[in-house]
Amino acid sequence: MKLDRSLSCDTSTRSRRTVANGMYAVAEYASQPLGLLLTAPYLLRHMGAVQFGVWVLASSVVSGGNALSTGFGDAAIKYVAMYRGQGDSSGVARIVRGMISINLALSAVIASVLWGVAPFAATHIAHIDATMRHACQQSFRIGSLLLVVRSIESVFVSALRAFEQYGPSVRISICSRVASLAGAVLLVARGRGVVEIILATLCISALATAAQGWVVRSATGKVTLLPSLHLETLRMIAGFGCFSWLQALSAVIFGQADRLVIGVLLGAPAVAVYALCDQAAQSIHGTVAAAFHVLFPHLSARFENESSAEVRHTLWTAFKSNAALAMLLGVPVIVFSRPILELWMGREFAQQAWPMLCILGVSSTLLALNVTAYYGLLAAGRIRLVMSVNLAAGAVMLLLMILLTPHFGTMGTACGWLIPGPVTCFLYLPIYRMFRNKCVACAEPSITALLENNG
């Protein structure tokens, strides 16, 4: 079985492929907020704030559970990219099959917990009547099945990204998301509710997962997509992946805890208002992170084959582009938060929510400035450092949200988001230490040597 290593192409071809992959990643990320931008006014008006809020909560719970069940995904990208760089097809197959086993086990445990606690969770959401509690419970339980399906899909997506083949995976993902949102609109138009929407999403995701698996077999040489318990492979994945999983835990704190705090303390209608502003603001960081995700597999495959001077140049170019894109996306949201909401959701909604969007826009822009350091350190194997910094930022953020939300409502929750950006700026310090010696370009040591010298 011969792998397409794609490492021998010239610099211009490599750069074009990297830019194309970045554009595909941005398109994949943008499909979700753009779809919500188009459908949210209709869904909110016809579902009502309470039912729309339940849908947002159920989606948040599924996303959080999925993040934990797929927390070893960075390990899949790193090691599949490494074996691809070595031209080792059997190594790629072992990693993919080992990841299927790990994700299945994790998602099964998390789905079982979610299924069991669904009745308790539904009764502890504020300002929701008894009939909606039953719908909420059913949505959570269908969502538990959905996160198992998505955990398998994530293995296939990670494998394709490790091969720097973003195009096929992104096209499938976009079609799946568009179909899910279109299905939601059609179901609401026919008088259906949140339970039917989650069920339709489950069916569409299952089809998307099958399509992603077919593409993986084509790209990796027809790997058998069944679980495998190869102990040495599982130990290697766990060595990096356990910290990657803790990093995923911090991502859950970052991405989902705010909505859960609001749901418990303020109720589903408040979640609906907050989620729309949060979706608009988080698109700043999300777009930048998607655009520069290609740095992770790109550098993981080449750290052993290129000099530190070349890697330093790549990181410096990426940082300048990262900062420019973050400001380009962030400043308009911060400055024009009120007109944006008036155009999108109407004058009454904008008058209530524009300060919250402004605060969330500032926080998302600050967080977006640190994307280059994040992916650079992951590719260099500094997952413990990345995980520690993000967990610290997430813990402080969550504490502030819990303290501020009862007194200041959703504005207090939004202010908690101002913490992660400044804290994660410290990720640039080890990058600086790795390349601070100006003679690096002359000696051209490997990145491995630099890491050993800098701990």
**238-247 confidence digits (pLDDT tens):** 877 777 777 7
Q: How far apart are CA 8 and CA 231, in angstroms?
A: 33
Long-range own/partner contacts, residues 176-185 (CB < 8 A, 24 or more apart): 176/204, 176/205, 176/207, 176/208, 177/31, 177/32, 177/35, 178/31, 178/35, 179/204, 180/204, 180/205, 181/35, 181/36, 181/38, 181/39, 184/39, 184/43, 185/39, 185/42, 185/43
Distance (Å, rounded) from C-alpha 256 to C-alpha 275?
Answer: 10
Report the number of distinct structural domains present in the chain. 1
CA distance 213 to 228: 16
Q: Is 6 part of a structural domain of the chain?
A: no
Domain of 288 in residue numbering reads as: 11-453
| Whether 103 contacts 152, CB under 8 Å | yes
| Residues 32 and 173: beta-carbon distance below 8 Å | no
Estimate the share of the chain in helix, then strand, then coil, as percent rounded to the nearest 5: 85, 0, 15
Question: Is the model's pLDDT at 131 over the cut of 80?
Answer: no
Q: Please, what is the end-to-end C-alpha distance for the chain in angstroms?
A: 37
Any domain includes 349: yes
Q: Is residue 4 part of a domain?
A: no
pLDDT band at 128 (very low <50, low <70, confident <90, very high): low
Determine, yes or no, domain membership for 3: no
Three-class secondary structure of residue 259 per DSSP: helix
**Across 70-84, 177-191, 314-328, least confident range:** 70-84
84 contacts 92 by C-beta, under 8 angstroms: yes
Whether 45 is in a domain gets the answer yes
- pLDDT, residue 161, reads 84
27 is a domain residue: yes
Determine contact, residues 177/34, Cβ cutoff 8 Å: no
In a domain, 376, yes or no: yes
Q: pLDDT tens digits, residue range 17-39? A: 777 877 888 888 778 778 877 88
Q: Taking the model in full, what pTM does it have?
A: 0.68
Q: How far is residue 424's CA from residue 368's CA, in Å, rounded to a whole number?
A: 10
In a domain? residue 437: yes
Does pLDDT of 224 surpass 70? yes
